[in-house]
Amino acid sequence: MIRAVVRGFGAALPKRVVPNAELEKTVDTTDEWIVQRTGIRQRYIAGEGETTASLGEAAAREALERAGLEPQAIDLIIVATASPDNTFPATAVDIQARLGITGGAAFDMQAVCSGFVFAMATADAYLRTGLARRALVIGAETFSRLLDWNDRTTCVLFGDGAGAVVLEAVEGEGTVADRGILTAQLRSDGSHKAKLYVDGGVSTTGTIGHLRMEGREVFKHAVGMITDVIEAAFAATGTTVEDVDWLVPHQANRRIIDGSAKKLGIPLEKVVVTVDRHGNTSAASIPLALHAAASDGRIKQGDLVLLEAMGGGFTWGSVLLRW
């Protein structure tokens, strides 16, 4: 049985760090409020010349280097993003060209904050069915350019960045001892659209628009949706919460992360948290967190790693993989 195994990982952040104190100068907020409600202390904000494609390219280069692969070895690029460089073509083809890759397929995936989970699931399906052999899965965002910087209820929450992994098709035994993606569980429910959306678009306003959110409504649904897809991953693989070495959640809010871990019975020592440093970087948050925990030696080869995300749509999903 073919498994999609992580061979390399990378990350990139903009140069400029914006601590909460800096936002106190522009909107009616305080560091104390932001930390208490969200756990966020700072975020990175893209400057001139830093775009979703440039950040994605940098993350991809590091992932390729760690994998020991030349760019031409890649035959699939999926970029999870809701903040592309252009309406079209896909940011993935831009990154493909920047890397000098001339073969294979490249496309974007739009599932907002769940984008990286959806992209991993998609790459897994391509690799297992033989449509591709080596994939770059990238989560890259410049959400700062979608924010209404006068809206204190949203502008304090998000940041920019990118993360990437290289997945390779490897023959496995078909058991949960295999390295690679063991299951992916994806869900969407468009009836929640109005709770988290961007109020512009190509075929409606002809503008980019700004992010709008009913934060309390999102919060209310998050923990239940996250635990639903995690329990589905356990059921699909016959694993249990005790088997998990690392939970790498989407980094939206410390309270959602802690609430989900508590409901599932996962001790906080096994949860990777970067939201304090990065804020919510949407589709980039999971690969940025993976990079943090794998590069400092916490996540080791053979560890069982659980990814989960929930975001606009709503969309939500989980991926269970052995590192």
| 221 forms part of the interface with ligand COA (CB under 6 A) | no
Tell me how far CA of residue 223 lies from CA of 120, 154, 217, 249, in angstroms.
21, 20, 12, 11
Cis peptide before 89 (omega within 30 of 0): yes
| 152 forms part of the interface with ligand COA (CB under 6 A) | yes
Question: Is 155 noted as a catalytic residue in this protein?
Answer: no
For residue 19, list its beta bridge partners.
42
Among 71, 219, 228, 270, binds ligand COA (CB under 6 A): 219
- Other Cβ atoms less than 10 A from the Cβ of 156: the count is 24
Given the complex with ligand COA, which of 79 and 223 has the nearer CB atom? 223
What are the helix and strand counts (H, E) for the chain?
10, 13
Question: Is 250 noted as a catalytic residue in this protein?
Answer: yes
Among 218, 226, 244, 306, binds ligand COA (CB under 6 A): 218
Using alpha carbons, select from 33, 29, 30, 22 the residue that is nearest to residue 151.
29
Minimum distance, C-beta of residue 129 to ligand COA, in the bound complex (Å):
30
Query: Which residues in 257-316 contact ligand COA (CB under 6 A)?
Result: 280, 311
Among 71, 200, 215, 259, binds ligand COA (CB under 6 A): 215
| DSSP string computed for 273-302 | --HHHH-B-GGGHHHHHHHHHHHTTSS-TT
| 146 forms part of the interface with ligand COA (CB under 6 A) | no
Using alpha carbons, select from 228, 222, 224, 229 the residue that is nearest to residue 196.
222
Minimum distance, C-beta of residue 116 to ligand COA, in the bound complex (Å):
12
161 by Cβ neighbours in 10 Å (0-12 / 13-18 / 19+) ranks as: buried
Given the complex with ligand COA, which of 135 and 155 has the nearer CB atom? 155
| 216 forms part of the interface with ligand COA (CB under 6 A) | yes
C-beta separation of 209 from 264 below 8 A? no
| 37 forms part of the interface with ligand COA (CB under 6 A) | yes
Given the complex with ligand COA, which of 95 and 310 has the nearer CB atom? 310
Minimum distance, C-beta of residue 160 to ligand COA, in the bound complex (Å):
15
Catalytic entry in 20, 155, 210, 250? 250
Question: Is 113 noted as a catalytic residue in this protein?
Answer: yes
- Other Cβ atoms less than 10 A from the Cβ of 41: the count is 16
| 253 forms part of the interface with ligand COA (CB under 6 A) | yes
H or E segment to which residue 201 belongs: none
Minimum distance, C-beta of residue 30 to ligand COA, in the bound complex (Å):
6
Given the complex with ligand COA, which of 274 and 280 has the nearer CB atom? 280
**Strand 76-80 to 105-109 pairing:** parallel
Place of tokens 């059921």: 235
Minimum distance, C-beta of residue 82 to ligand COA, in the bound complex (Å):
10
Given the complex with ligand COA, which of 247 and 256 has the nearer CB atom? 256
Among 46, 101, 106, 113, binds ligand COA (CB under 6 A): 113
Q: How many residues bind ligand COA (CB under 6 A)?
A: 19
d(CA 111, CA 161): 17
Minimum distance, C-beta of residue 254 to ligand COA, in the bound complex (Å):
9
Helices 254-264 and 31-38 cross at an angle (nearest 10°) of 20
- Give the catalytic positions in this structure: 113, 250, 280
Could you list the residues that contact ligand COA (CB under 6 A)? Answer: 29, 33-34, 37-38, 113, 152-153, 156, 213, 215-216, 218-219, 252-253, 256, 280, 311
